[in-house]
Chain A
Amino acid sequence: MSTRRLFLKSSALGMFGVGTAPAWLSRALYAADGPGARKKILVAIFQRGAVDGLNVVVPFGEKQYYSLRPNLAIPKPDRTENSAIDLDGFFGLHPALAPLKPIYDSGHMAIVHAVGSPDPTRSHFDAQDYMESGTPGRKATSDGWLNRALPIQKDASPVRAVSLGTVLPRAMRGQNEAVAIANLNDFQIRDTRGAGTFESMYESSLDQVLNGAGRETFEAVKLMQSIQKQPYAPRNGVQYPNSSLGQDLMQIARLIKSNVGLEVAFAEMRGWDTHVNEVGARPTVGQLSNLLGQFGNALAAFYQDLGDRTADVCVITMSEFGRTARENGSRGTDHGHANVMFAFGGGIRGGKVYGPWPGLEQEQLYEQRDLQLTTDFRDVLGELVVRHLGNAQVASVFPGYEQPKFRGIVG
């Protein structure tokens, strides 16, 4: 492990002449050696389309769950793959999430249930927007919480904030430099005839704005080259699934292990809007089961691949809102309210389902149809920002929400 780090360090520094390596680079690389000096990293994963939290972390101890969902309910744990995986005698994991169970058992995965945005909207567009801006109900916020979460720092690494995909998501936008990368291997001038020329042009340009941005671009490109040269081998033969989330997480792991100064990363998975045929012949198979299979396998591979680096990393998952407590007429569910979030990493106090459970009796439902909210998503994200990233300015990360109530999931 440490020889690998040393190798990457020298090869990355070798890209620059002696004495010319930018401050952030030497700091990022050398800091990796000092005990506890490695940067904390927050990886946010957005499940776009509103995942059905009640079938992801199943309240099998709740009688109402089974009467609301005659066709959809995941059976109580019976140690077969056609039933929920018992977590604490009341909640169980969807069986497709079996790969995550060992992380839960090791105490490094926490679940928060009945969590979400207090805004009543059931529009995907508005709800995603609110969750990414971190300001429910306010449409004019121009930047995202994940960008604001970055501690202010001079000489920061050009790749301290990376999102996987071609467009910078809302959550990552803002004043801090944030890079959208579709594919690490592709972050370069593709036509080799042009690479050196462009670099020379931007480096010598008298255009101050483009000169500055150009320099940073080519610094980031060089950094990527040091990574690109090494074919990536996940730890101990970990196999990432060939799904888009699996591939994105593999690239994030690659960045983390290259010690290039990553602090926040963003990836997403689409397709959770299960109005129709959420389940197949049995409740434990079908559309949702397949999606959760991809989701769980990708996350489990990522976690295993990180090895001892999980000490620095926290992964948090979110989705814009939950789905109706009652199943609909087409073996699916419609747009609802509160949902479930997963947090895992070395610093997470896991092995537990957090958040007061509001119940599923008719009078306990939000607007008589959805899971009631008992934890604001900013309580969870705020805690990660403060206690994991070490950014105490939570009021500027979540403006208008000065007093988040931490659940104690980090520590």
Chain B
Amino acid sequence: MKKLSIVLRLAALAGLAAYSNTDYSQFEKPLSKDQEILHALNRLTFGPRPGNVEVVRKMGVKKWIDQQLHPERIVENPELGARLQPLESLQMSAAEIATNYPPRVVIQAMSKGLMPLPQDADARQKVELQLQRLKTRQNANGQGKGRDPLQQAMRQQVLATTDPVERRKLVADKAPQQAVAYDLNEAKLYRAIYSNRQLEEQMADFWFNHFNVYIDKGADRILTSTYERDAIRPHVFGKFRDLLEATAESPAMLFYLDNWQSVSSELGQRELGQRELGQRDIDQKAKLRAKAKQARGLNENYARELMELHTLGVDGGYTQHDIIEVARCFTGWTINQPNRRGEFVYNDRVHDKGEKTVLGVKIPAGGGREDAERVLDILARHPSTAHFISTKLAKKFVADDPPPALIERMAKTFHDTDGDIRAVMSTMLDSREFFSEGAFQAKVKTPLELIVSAVRASDAQVDFAIPLATQIAQLGEPLYRKIEPTGYSSANSEWVNSAALLARMNFALTLTDNRVPGSKVDAIKFADNPAAVARQVLFHEASPQTLDSIKKALAQREPTPALVAGLVLGSPDFQRR
């Protein structure tokens, strides 16, 4: 038995156990009408809510999908607006966030007198409070910084019972930076839980993850909010070229992948010459020059990830030489005061004016900002990009190992429509492969999907989402905190491990037992026998194995519907979508 499970796990690592390699016949087998409805809801939303199945059945799957592809036609849920309204940093510019929620480096700079205190009286008061705190912390000499889950739990309990506006004030006064991250986390979860425009939210999550930035890297603490709002969200169904440009010139990305520091290497040399004026020792000079070159000059990070992760894919046909050429084109794309203003600016002085060749295309000497625009044109329209993006979408929405024929059709749409994301999605969602046995229940939920789908299925009311975000982090997907530019994987193998499975089961029981602060499940809504409760939260019949296990365990005791619901949410049946 043990051997079998090892073999299976190896198969699962390689792809999806049942459909690996070249056998895609499962993707030719159609689903029943009921399965189609459930499948559409499972894939295009963060999990069905009570009543959703009936709505889709009445409207027809095709029409419902078409509506989800046009979110502007969907009336938004007022529950959502009420919850987003107090999260004020979501509406601010980066500069406003910097002023109102100053990062630590700014406070430290002010404490050293390297930066003036803000003019605005209100902002000044906030900074002075922070200066005081900084001093207190320093006097405490960094004592007692250990993890304390109990303290964290108590803090969340207290915050959950506080009015949202007051709650934000408490958080912002204690740690202003944390309030910004809280706003982002809360907004993401409220939207996932309450929005009627579910596919738009799935797409926002997909594209943010595709163009990942890490909120804890320096200035990205103040730049991530505007990044999601202004660079990602407006383009989730738009033209890929526009989305690419929006991320390329976003201060968040320029900072995260270091392009803001990248200058023409010739300029780096010139600066060095000036700095060394008067030095006599030639050997010493040569040594220093080699080092200073590393300090200021071309930075290849963004150029590499732009091709490897954002557009062509690692096997997309570019070379190390292309990376350098692309980096040269992007010199001068930088940020005005990353920690204070966080505005994109093109600085012609540091731009490399020489001729470049990118993927065989000549970019003439003497250019400026438009050199990089040219690169974005080439990359967005490259066949490798159409293929790479189509594959990634199919992996997320269809299966870990999607049929190549489907990817080809999606890539063709991408090419024919000049990268129209909505059209590519339509091709995928219209396909027989999408509504096939090969795709049905083929994906293991990511931590975000698991937690949100449990909340939606149990119809929980959420008035403070941070404890849910904490749970998601414990399951291995801290929101806005993926350090690597790869973003999170949507592959099943990523999310199936011992600690995560245990955490999923524990979460399920905690949720239905109303022990997650800020979330409330009304147990009265659950039916009084296990099979019916299972149907309520799974929206289909539970597997006989799951049902038998529940019945056996509860044989001796009086089963409470809340406990049964928790067991079903923690069952293997609920881990897939």
Chain A contacts to B: CB under 8 angstroms? 22-23, 120, 123, 125, 129, 139-140, 142, 154-155, 158, 165-168, 170, 175, 177-183, 187-191, 193-194, 196-198, 200-202, 204-217, 220-221, 242-245, 247, 270-271, 275-277, 280, 286-287, 290-291, 329-330, 363, 366-368
- CA A129 to CA B258, docked complex, whole Å: 15
Alpha-carbon distance A204/B29, docked complex (angstroms): 27
Contact assessment for B571 and A193 in the assembled complex, using a CB-CB cutoff below 8 Å:
no
Give Cα distance in the complex from A155 to B1, angstroms.
12
Is B566's beta carbon under 8 Å from chain A? yes
Q: Specify which chain A residues have a CB less than 8 angstroms from the CB of B138 in the assembled complex.
A: 276-277, 287
Quote the shortest CB–CB distance from B23 to chain A (angstroms): 16
Q: How far is the CA of A204 from the CA of B573 in the complex (A)?
A: 12
Question: Is A120 a contact of B301 with CB atoms below 8 Å?
Answer: no
Question: Any chain A CB within 8 A of the CB of B304?
Answer: yes
Closest chain-A Cβ to B333's Cβ sits at a distance in Å of 19
Judge whether B543 and A205 touch: CB under 8 Å.
yes
The residue of chain A having its C-beta at the shortest distance from the C-beta of B498 within the complex is A217
Q: Which single member of A158, A194, A286 contacts B567 (CB below 8 Å)?
A: A194
Q: Are A177 and B498 in contact (CB under 8 A)?
A: yes
Interface membership of B158, Cβ < 8 A: no
Q: A197-B550, A201-B572, A212-B8 are in contact. List 5 more A-B contacts (CB 8 A).
A: A154-B6, A158-B498, A191-B506, A194-B567, A208-B12
Contact indicator B476/A167 (Cβ below 8 Å): yes
| A210 close to B572 (CB less than 8 A) | yes
Query: What are the residues of chain B within 8 A of A276 when measuring CB–CB?
Result: 108, 111-112, 138
Residues of A within 8 A of B502 (CB): 187-189, 217, 221
Q: Report the Cα distance A202→B111, complex, angstroms.
A: 56
Q: Is the CB–CB distance between A208 and B8 below 8 Å?
A: yes
Q: Write out the residue numbers on chain B whose beta carbons fall within 8 Å of the beta carbon of A191.
A: 506, 509-510, 513, 566
Q: How far is the CB of B317 from chain A (nearest CB, A)?
A: 16
Once the chains are docked, how many angstroms separate the CA of A371 from the CA of B149?
38
Are B492 and A209 within 8 A (Cβ)? yes
A-binding segment of B95-103, B212-220, B321-329, B336-344: B212-220
Q: How far does the Cβ of A152 sit from chain B's closest Cβ, in whole Å?
A: 11
Task: Name which of B301, B304, B497 has the most chain A CB atoms within 10 A of its CB.
Answer: B497
Cβ–Cβ contact B483 & A125, under 8 A: yes
- Contact (Cβ within 8 A) A142 B499: no
Check A220 against B486 for contact (C-beta < 8 Å): no
B563 CB within 8 Å of chain A: yes
The answer to whether A212 and B484 have CB atoms under 8 Å apart is no
Interface string of B1-33 (1 = CB under 8 A from A): 110011011011100011000000000000000
Chain A hits for B309, CB < 8 A: 140
A-chain residues with CB within 8 Å of residue B444 when the two chains form the complex: 209-210
Q: Is the CB of A168 within 8 A of B499?
A: yes
Kindly identify which residue among A22, A123, A220, A330 contacts B218, using a CB–CB cutoff of 8 Å.
Answer: A123
Would you mind naming 19 contact pairs between A and B with Cβ atoms under 8 Å apart? A125-B483, A139-B304, A140-B314, A191-B509, A194-B567, A197-B552, A198-B505, A200-B548, A201-B567, A202-B501, A210-B576, A212-B6, A212-B9, A242-B146, A244-B145, A247-B146, A286-B141, A366-B291, A368-B288
Q: Is B92 an interface residue (CB 8 A)?
A: no
> Is the CB–CB distance between B501 and A214 below 8 Å?
yes
How far does the Cβ of B517 sit from chain A's closest Cβ, in whole Å?
16
CA distance A178 to B496 in the complex (A): 11
Residues of chain A lying within 8 A (CB to CB) of residue B483: 125, 129, 170
Which residues in B have their C-beta under 8 angstroms from that of A139? 301, 304-305, 484-485
- Cα distance A244–B509 when bound, in Å? 28
Using known A-B contacts A188-B502, A276-B108, determine if residue A194 contacts B572 with beta carbons closer than 8 Å: no
Q: Given A140-B314, A209-B9, A210-B575: A180 and B499 within 8 A (CB)? A: yes
Given A125-B214, A187-B502, A193-B563, A214 contacting B572 (CB threshold 8 A) = yes
Nearest chain A CB to B408 CB, angstrom units? 26
CB distance from A103 to the nearest CB of B (A): 24
Q: Which residue of A lies closest to B546 (CB)?
A: A201
A187 to B141, CA, bound (A): 33
A243 / chain B contacts, CB cutoff of 8 Å: 146
B153, CB-defined interface residue at 8 Å: no
**What's the least CB distance linking A102 to chain B, in Å?**
26
Query: A199 to nearest B CB, angstroms?
Result: 8
Contacts A207-B572, A212-B8, A213-B496: A123 and B505 contacting too (C-beta < 8 A)? no
Q: Tell whether B74 is near chain A: CB-to-CB under 8 Å.
A: no
The answer to whether B217 touches A201, judged by C-beta atoms less than 8 angstroms apart, is: no
Interface residues of B (CB under 8 A from A): 1-2, 5-6, 8-9, 11-13, 17-18, 108, 111-112, 138, 141-143, 145-147, 149, 214, 216-218, 258, 284, 287-288, 291-292, 294-295, 301, 304-305, 308-309, 314, 444, 473-474, 476, 478, 483-486, 492, 496-499, 501-502, 505-506, 509-510, 513, 543, 545-546, 548-550, 552-554, 563, 566-567, 570-572, 575-576
Given A125-B214, A142-B486, A177-B498, the answer on whether A202 and B141 have CB atoms closer than 8 Å is no
Identify A200's interface contact among B217, B486, B552, B566, CB under 8 A. Answer: B552
Q: Bound state CA distance, A289 and B424, in angstroms?
A: 59
Q: Are B545 and A204 in contact (CB under 8 A)?
A: yes
How close is B181's CB to chain A, nearest CB, in angstroms?
Answer: 16
Is there an interface contact between A271 and B142, defined as CB atoms closer than 8 Å?
yes
**Assembly CA distance A154 to B17 (angstroms):** 19
Output the least CB separation between A59 and chain B (Å): 22
Cβ contacts under 8 Å, B499 to chain A? 168, 179-181, 187
What residue of chain A has the Cβ atom nearest to residue B550's Cβ? A197
Residue of B nearest to A178 (CB): B497
Q: Please measure, in the bound complex, the distance between the C-alpha atom of A201 and the C-alpha atom of B571, giving whole angstroms.
A: 7
Contact partners of B510 in chain A: CB under 8 A = 190-191
Quick one: given A191-B509, A201-B549, A209-B12, are A123 and B294 in contact (CB under 8 Å)? no
For the complex formed, measure the closest distance between the CB of B509 and the CB atoms of chain A, giving whole angstroms: 4
Q: CB within 8 A of B2: which of A155, A197, A208, A277? A: A155
Residues of chain A with a CB closer than 8 A to B9's CB: 209, 212-213
Judge whether A290 and B143 touch: CB under 8 Å: yes
Known: A167-B473, A170-B483, A214-B501. A205 touches B142 (CB 8 A): no
Chain A nearest CB: distance from B225 CB in Å? 19
A267–B573 Cα gap in the complex (Å)?
A: 34
> Which residue of A has the minimal Cβ distance to B294?
A120
When chains A and B are docked, how far (Å) is the Cα of A155 from the Cα of B218?
43
Q: Decide: A189 near B141, CB < 8 A? Known: A209-B496, A363-B284.
A: no
In contact, A140 and B575 (Cβ under 8 angstroms): no
Residues of B within 8 A of A242 (CB): 146
Q: Within the assembled complex, what's the spacing in Å between the Cα atoms of A97 and B18?
A: 56
Known: A22-B2, A212-B8. A200 touches B553 (CB 8 A): yes
Q: Which of A208, A275, A280 is in CB contact (< 8 Å) with B141?
A: A280
Q: Which residue of A lies closest to B566 (CB)?
A: A194
For the complex, what is the distance from the CA of A290 to the CA of B146, rounded to whole Å?
13
CA distance A229 to B412 in the complex (A): 61
List of B residues within 8 angstroms of A245 by Cβ: 146
Contact among B291, B295, B304, B506 with A190 in the assembled complex (CB-CB below 8 Å): B506
Q: Kindly state the separation between the CA atoms of A232 and B138 in the bound complex, as whole angstroms.
A: 35
Q: Could you tell me the distance in whole angstroms from the C-beta of A21 to the nearest C-beta in chain B? A: 10
B498→A216 contact, CB < 8 A: yes
A277 nearest in chain B by CB position: B138
- Asked if residues B473 and A204 are in contact (CB atoms below 8 Å), the reply is no
Contacts of B141 in A (CB 8 A): 280, 286-287, 290
8 nearest CB pairs, A to B: A244-B146, A212-B5, A197-B553, A200-B549, A204-B545, A217-B498, A205-B572, A210-B572
Say whether A211 contacts B214, CB under 8 Å. Answer: no
Please report the C-alpha to C-alpha distance between residue A177 and residue B549 in the assembled complex, in whole angstroms: 27
CA distance A240 to B320 in the complex (A): 51
Query: Could you tell me the distance in whole angstroms from the C-beta of B443 to the nearest C-beta in chain A?
Result: 11
A83, B142: Cα distance in complex, Å? 22
Residue of A nearest to B564 (CB): A197
Considering the complex, give the chain A residue whose CB is closest to the CB of B560.
A193
A330 touches B12 (CB 8 A): no
Assembled-state Cα–Cα distance A205/B476 (Å):
24
Judge whether B545 and A205 touch: CB under 8 Å.
yes
Known: A201-B572, A210-B496, A243-B146. A23 touches B301 (CB 8 A): no
